[in-house]
Amino acid sequence: PFALAGLMAAITTLAATGQAMAQDFKPRIVRFGYGLVDDSNQGRAARFFAKEVEKATGGKMKVRAIGNASLGSDTQMQQALIGGAQEMMVGSTATLVGLSPEMAVWDTPFLFSSTKEADAVLDGPVGEKVKATLEPKGMVGLVYWENGFRNLTNNKRPIAKLEDLADVKLRVMQNNVFLDSFKALGANAVPLPFSELFTALETRAVDGQENPFNTVLSSKFYEVQKYLTISNHVYSPWIVTVSKKWWDTLTPAEKKVLQDAAVKSREFERKDTREEAAKALADIKTKGMQVNELPAAEVGRMRDKLATVNAGIAKTVGQGTWDEVQAAVKQARAV
Ligand code: TF8
C-alpha cells in the first residue's frame, strides 16, 4: 500500500506539471517555409520539427511546414521573417550572404572534407558566432542542417576536365562567392533562385546546376539533366531561422521548446540526409543519368583555380572569422 501511495503521488505530480506546462503555451500558428518539395530531406525534417513542437506544447503551438517555395524563394522568405509576416524558414546559408556577409565563409570551396568536420565546425563556437550575426538583421538562427556536398549536373557533356565547363551555362545560387567561383572555373555562371531552377533547366535557359545528390533526386533534375559529375566542390549547410520580431513575443518556455525541437530536428535531418545520399548514386543511375567522377588530378586543378576566391571570402567575412574557421577545421581534422 505504501508503494502504491507513492506511485499515486507521482502520477498526480506528473499530471499537475503537465497541466501547468500546457498553460504556459498560448495557441500559436507557426508558418515554417522551405524551398524544396515535400518529399525531400528538407520536407521530412520540417515535418519532424513540427511534430516535436506540437508534442512539447500539448498541441498549443502548431507548426505548418510549407514547402515548394509556396511562401517564396529563400530571399523572399527572409524578408517576410524580418518584417514579421512569417515566423520560420529553413534555407541555404548562401542566400543569407547579402544580409550577413559572414555567412559567406560556409561557401569556401573544399572547406570541409567530411561531414564530421562540417558538424564539428558548424555546431562549434565559430558556427555559433556566424549564426549570431543574423540577430541584428532581424532573424534568429536556431541550428544548421545538412544540405550536403555539391556536385555538377548538365546537359552538354560529362565534365572530365576543367575545360569541359567552358561553354556551360551554369545556374548558381544568388551569391557572389558562387558567382566568382564558377567564373574562376571558366563556366558561364548565371545566378537564379532555386524556385526557378527546374523550369530553367527544362526550357534550356541554363545547361546545368550544382547541388547534392539528394536534391537531384527530390527535385527530379534527372528528368531534365543528362550528366552528373561527382566533384564535391563545396559543402552547403542549411540554416533554420526564426523571425526576430516574432521571437521577441515568445515566453522563455516557448523559446526553449523551439530551440530543443530544432536540435532534435538537426540530428534527425543529418541522419536522414546521409542515409539518402549514400543510396542516391544508384538511384540517379537508375533514373538514366550518366555519372562520372571528376578525376583526382582535375579536382586538384579545380582546387587551385578556386583558391583565388579565398582572399575575397576572407575580406567579405573578415580575417578574424576566416582564421577562426580555418583553425576549427584543422582541429576537427585532427580528431
Ligand atoms: C540551392 C540550394 C537549395 C536551397 C533550398 C531551396 O541550390 O542548394 O537547396 O536554397 O533551401 O539553391
The protein residue whose alpha carbon is closest to atom 2 in ligand 1 is: 92
What percent of the chain clears pLDDT 90, i.e. is strictly above it?
92
For the chain, the first-to-last Cα distance in angstroms comes to 55
CA–centroid distance, 335 to ligand 1, in Å, is: 30
Lookup result for grid cell 520580431: 245
CB atoms within 10 A of CB 261: 25
How confident is the model over 62-86, as pLDDT tens digits? 999 999 999 999 999 999 999 999 9
CA–centroid distance, 218 to ligand 1, in Å, is: 12
Mean pLDDT within 168-174: 97
Q: Is the pLDDT of residue 6 over 70?
A: no
CA–centroid distance, 99 to ligand 1, in Å, is: 17
Q: Which amino acid is at 322?
A: W
Kind and range of the H or E element at 96?
A: none
CA–centroid distance, 308 to ligand 1, in Å, is: 24
pLDDT at res. 17: 46
Atom of ligand 1 nearest to the CA of 91: 11
CA–centroid distance, 12 to ligand 1, in Å, is: 48
Distance, CA of 126 to CA of 19 (rounded, Å): 39
Give the closest residue to 90 by CA, choosing from 211, 237, 240, 236. 240
How confident is the model over 87-103, as pLDDT tens digits? 999 999 999 999 999 99
pLDDT at res. 14: 46
The protein residue whose alpha carbon is closest to atom 1 in ligand 1 is: 194
pLDDT at res. 24: 79
pLDDT at res. 3: 58
The protein residue whose alpha carbon is closest to atom 11 in ligand 1 is: 91
Atom of ligand 1 nearest to the CA of 42: 11
How confident is the model over 259-297, as pLDDT tens digits? 999 999 999 999 999 999 999 999 999 999 999 999 999
Q: Is the pLDDT of residue 243 over 50?
A: yes
CA–centroid distance, 16 to ligand 1, in Å, is: 45
ipTM: 0.98
Give the closest residue to 266 by CA, choosing from 52, 5, 21, 19. 52
Mean pLDDT within 7-13: 51
Give the closest residue to 165 by CA, choosing from 190, 186, 192. 186
The protein residue whose alpha carbon is closest to atom 12 in ligand 1 is: 194
pLDDT at res. 9: 53
Residues within a 6 A CB radius of ligand 1: 34-36, 74, 91-92, 95, 147, 173, 194, 211, 215, 236, 238
pTM over 0.90: yes
Please give the grid coordinates belonging to residue 232.
564535391
Distance, CA of 323 to CA of 332 (rounded, Å): 14
Cβ atoms 242, 81 nearer than 8 A: yes
CA–centroid distance, 202 to ligand 1, in Å, is: 18
